[in-house]
Structure 1
Amino acid sequence: MTEQVPIDSADLDPERLPAHVGIIMDGNGRWAHERGEPRHVGHTAGEEALFDTVEGALEAGLGYLTVWAFSTDNWKRPREEVRFLMNFNRDLLQRRAGELDERRVRVRFVGRRGRPVPRRLVQMMEDTEQRTAHHRRLTLQVAFNYGGRTELVDATRQLAAEVAAGRLRPDDIDEEAIAARLYEPDAPDVDLLLRTSGEQRLSNFQLWEAAYAELLFTDVLWPDFRRQDLFEAIAAFQGRDRRFGRVRSR
């Protein structure tokens, strides 16, 4: 049996890259459990996966990459794990912000920034955004304290406030009006949505932005994910026939 040759970034069609890739980074806890380690060990191991994936996105020439770091539902996890994740993300920014800046990566955080997110962490997020705001080689969006329904609720509240203030008529509310009030309205829609660990659901991630995304699920647990897996996902995307409701061409 012939061994399959790994896909390299050079094998990808640069004219057919997804404009925006979203990743649900799943499987840290399972990865740790399989090794007899506590869950936080899996989260720590996931850092290497994230930054190798970012390097792969740069190598492939992607424009936007959104990764889900912390869900609005994750506050329901054990208090010790939540505390670890808050401190871990703070320390991660301390370790990696300079590295992303050097690679000309624009970093943006999408999600709610008020309590219960620690103010110190919010300040570091905002500092990183300001530090990297002028870069355009790759935009890395980190979904933190994020939920797709929460994003739509916040957009709807903004619309309601504008209607109440007389700045907007109800009849003016359409898809463009809603899209303009999302967390990052200038970001392109998600073309490719990838989830690791074998789970096959969206779990409230990028519900509006991924309306026409190609979905890809891999059994690879997130700490084991590397740029090679990203290249394979992009190659699979490039092999699909995207119709957006149109009849298949003959």
Structure 2
Amino acid sequence: MVNVKRVGFIGGGNMATAICKGIINQGIYKPSDVWVSGPHVEHLNHLKDLGINVTNTGTTLATLARALQSFDQCRIIRIMPNTPMLLGEGASVYCPDDKASEDDCSAVEKILGSCGIYERVPEKLINAVGALSGSGPAFVYLMIEALSDGGVKQGIPRAMATEFAAQTVLGAAKMVLGTKKHPGELKDEVCSAGGSTICGIHALEKGGVRGSYIDAIEAAIKRTIDMEKEN
């Protein structure tokens, strides 16, 4: 358990739900010590069923600013989590303000570390990591779906194709993390000379898959910056 007695979330969307379930499943917080607020309490029933406290108080940035002013030496730590925290496989970064103490950072690290990996970064990297690990799962889901579609086209039943596609991505990811080898080196180990895999790689390169993924990260960052300006 961390030394912060209670934790609260403003909004109970997918990200808050993933973090809530992650910290509860890992025993970091008891459900009774977690609070989630949202404008429509009926949309928070999935959290209430877990024993989490829910309220229907929404709020504005101006209200938050006034509330924070009432606290002496308020400390703020900005984090960028992702939804795989739900299964303890998150990838998060955080950035403290100049008032946050090392104890504050340690409390945040315990929460994030219980649900995956984390790094402390300068704020200028938050948007970049948000595009990579925050939006990244959606890009990978699309890849899994496409691999599954390819299997189905060749006669594999859909359920089996999806399961094997997902497991293949999981296994490949663990190879990168476990062996510490460059992804290109691992790719070369699979590509036998004149074999089927290098032919598949050729087809992917012709389709621009590498450039498309790079463009996807760039597009996500650009949209994040645009939204910040709009707000």
Q: What TM-score do the two structures reach when normalised by structure 2?
A: 0.28
**Looking at CA atoms only, which structure, 1 or 2, has the larger radius of gyration?**
2
Which structure would you say has the larger RCO, counting Cα contacts within 8 Å and 6 or more residues apart?
Answer: 1
